[in-house]
Amino acid sequence: MPGRYEEVFQKIQDKFRRTAVFAAESGIIPYKSENGRWIASPFDGNGWWTGGFWPALMWQLYAAGREECFLKEARRVEALLTDEFRVFRHLNHDVGFMYLLSCGADFKLTSDEQARTDTLHAASLLMGRFNPVGYIRAWNNPSQVGYAIIDCMMNLSLLFWASRQTGDPRFARVATIHADTALKEFLRPDGSVSHIIEFDPGTGRRVREHPGQGYALGTQWSRGQAWGLYGFTLAYMNARDGRYLEAAQRIAANFIAHIRPDGLTDCDFCQPDTEKRIDNIAGAIAACGLMELHGLTGVDAYAESARRLVDGLLDRCCDWSLDRCGMLTHCTASYHDDGAGRHTNITYGDYFLTEALAKLNGTDPMLWL
Ligand code: GLY
């Protein structure tokens, strides 16, 4: 008899088999659901950093049952994403999220050569953002030449992948230089991580920390904590440097200490009681990282915490209606609303919850490696 997580995975397949039709009919890359319908990103069109999560979700579902409809929908969106190579100006360090999880997943699951080429193209773009003073530049704004962000730890996997594919160590070397900088400059003594650090682009000297998507300067934006947790775990899986594993475990201990009694995740672990916000994407990402940490260390507390997070989402925050797009609710893009919404559905929440369930079921194709 299937267990709870297997039954839920079947519900996810049913939901997205149906709502992928709505996406294809509209011709967009689903960014989030509004009034039960997919909408495209209001920022930078198909070049917005989240575009890879929808095809990633399709590839997760394809990996589970080899249903052609998921492959077809993933490839429809991959074509839109690779068109963005030509536009170029919107692409930033998040080409890891965008292309490893779309074209990279396609190559992993189908051995398609063009998908491999497109993934290598993205890796070269990420390499091009490296500043040899020690970091990968995050964004394109001319006033932010020296900015690096914790989220980039997730994008490093694209570089490690490219070195394995090509036999050229430069990609992995850049990834480890950036990871070492993150270890030194982002990881705080209490096991939390900063979101944005500005460096002098000429010397690499730390200039200052900036407030990002969390409550305020110096607080703990929970999704940033989750990016750090999973990102350092992936860095360890790629580079086998024990310092990255230790960092991931410290970040995990801090994250676990902040899981709410109902299993949901506050948007910022330091947010005021008077202005509480939830970001369930953070919980879903952290559950994925914790499952990998459990696999690496055998520490049961990691798997138990991952299950607490996933159970909280399944018990309270999933929309299973087949006719309404969007599954995970109560996702918050930014503590201080940046226009993307608060307590809403956003597709990367749907993606990471699906990945977490695949890990719990032992069927995850591990698209990050
Ligand atoms: N990487 C940007 C975010 O997590 O919102």
> What tens digit of pLDDT does each residue of 275-316 get?
889 999 999 999 999 999 999 999 999 999 999 999 999 999
- Per-residue pLDDT, averaged over 249-266, amounts to 98
Residue of minimum CA distance from atom 1 in ligand 1: 151
Q: Could you give the C-alpha distances from 323 to 21, 66, 105, in angstroms and in order?
A: 11, 23, 27
Sign of CA dihedral 171, 173, 174, 175: positive
Atom of ligand 1 nearest to the CA of 333: 5
Atom of ligand 1 nearest to the CA of 281: 4
Residue range(s) defining the domain that contains residue 109 = 4-361
Residue-wise pLDDT tens digits, 227-253:
999 999 999 999 999 999 999 999 999
Ligand 1 pocket mutation, candidates 95, 97, 147, 213, criterion most atoms within 8 A of CB: 213
d(CA 222, CA 182): 17
Residue of minimum CA distance from atom 2 in ligand 1: 151
d(CA 332, CA 221): 11
Residue 178 lies in a domain: yes
Distance 67 CA to ligand 1 centre (A): 30
Atom of ligand 1 nearest to the CA of 149: 1
Atom of ligand 1 nearest to the CA of 223: 4
Express as a percent the part of the chain with pLDDT over 90. 98
Residue 368 lies in a domain: no
Task: Give residue 62's pLDDT.
Answer: 98
Residue 338 has pLDDT above 90, yes or no: no
Residue 281 lies in a domain: yes
Query: At 272, phi and psi to the nearest 5?
Result: -70, 150
346 contacts: CB under 8 Å, gap ≥ 6: 31, 32, 50, 281, 331, 333, 340
d(CA 31, CA 28): 9
If one counts every other C-beta atom within 10 angstroms of the C-beta of residue 139, the result is: 17
Query: At 344, phi and psi to the nearest 5?
Result: -130, -175
- Per-residue pLDDT, averaged over 13-32, amounts to 98
If one counts every other C-beta atom within 10 angstroms of the C-beta of residue 77, the result is: 24
Distance 37 CA to ligand 1 centre (A): 22
Is residue 151 annotated as a catalytic residue, yes or no? yes
Give the domain CATH number at 303: 1.50.10.10
d(CA 35, CA 272): 30
Instruction: Report which of 223, 249, 221, 254 is spatially closest to residue 235, judged by C-alpha positions.
Output: 249
Q: Which two tokens stand for residue 112?
A: 């398609």
176: left (phi over 0), alpha (psi -120 to 50) or beta: alpha
Atom of ligand 1 nearest to the CA of 334: 5
Place 337 in a pLDDT band, splitting at 50, 70 and 90: confident
- Per-residue pLDDT, averaged over 37-61, amounts to 97
Residue 1 has pLDDT above 90, yes or no: no
Task: Give residue 142's pLDDT.
Answer: 98
Provide the edge-to-edge strand list for the sheet that holds 147-149. Answer: 147-149, 196-199, 206-210
Look up residue 109 and give its amino acid. Answer: L
d(CA 342, CA 324): 18
Task: Give residue 100's pLDDT.
Answer: 99
Is residue 279 annotated as a catalytic residue, yes or no? no
Ligand 1 pocket mutation, candidates 97, 98, 101, 151, criterion most atoms within 8 A of CB: 151
Instruction: Report which of 90, 75, 153, 88 is spatially closest to residue 121, judged by C-alpha positions.
Output: 88
Place 17 in a pLDDT band, splitting at 50, 70 and 90: very high
Query: To the nearest 10°, the Cα dihedral for 42, 46, 51, 56?
Result: 140
Atom of ligand 1 nearest to the CA of 213: 5
Task: Give residue 341's pLDDT.
Answer: 84
Give the total number of structural domains in the chain.
Answer: 1
Distance 167 CA to ligand 1 centre (A): 31
Spot the catalytic one: 14, 44, 83, 94: 94
Residue-wise pLDDT tens digits, 182-200:
999 999 999 999 999 999 9
DSSP code of residue 202: T
Distance 44 CA to ligand 1 centre (A): 14
Ligand 1 pocket mutation, candidates 32, 139, 195, 223, criterion most atoms within 8 A of CB: 223
- Per-residue pLDDT, averaged over 3-22, amounts to 98
Task: Give residue 289's pLDDT.
Answer: 99
Sign of CA dihedral 224, 229, 233, 235: positive
Residue-wise pLDDT tens digits, 148-161:
999 999 999 999 99
d(CA 135, CA 75): 32
Residue 71 lies in a domain: yes
**Cβ–Cβ under 8 Å, residues 114 and 104:** no
**Cβ–Cβ under 8 Å, residues 284 and 347:** no
Residue of minimum CA distance from atom 5 in ligand 1: 333
Residue entry with tokens 């998908």:
115
Distance 151 CA to ligand 1 centre (A): 7
- Which residues are near ligand 1 (CB < 6 Å)? 151, 213, 223, 333
Residue 287 lies in a domain: yes
Distance 3 CA to ligand 1 centre (A): 32
Distance 97 CA to ligand 1 centre (A): 10
Question: Helices (DSSP H) in 27-147: which residue ranges?
Answer: 53-65, 68-87, 95, 105-110, 113-127
Residue 369 lies in a domain: no
Task: Give residue 242's pLDDT.
Answer: 98
Spot the catalytic one: 83, 106, 112, 151: 151
Residue 85 lies in a domain: yes
Q: Where are the beta strands (DSSP E) in 96-238?
A: 130-131, 135-136, 147-149, 196-199, 206-210
Residue-wise pLDDT tens digits, 117-130:
999 999 999 999 99
Residue 367 lies in a domain: no
Task: Give residue 52's pLDDT.
Answer: 98
Collapse the DSSP code of 38 into the 3-class scheme (helix H, G, I; strand E, B; otherwise coil) and give the result. Answer: strand
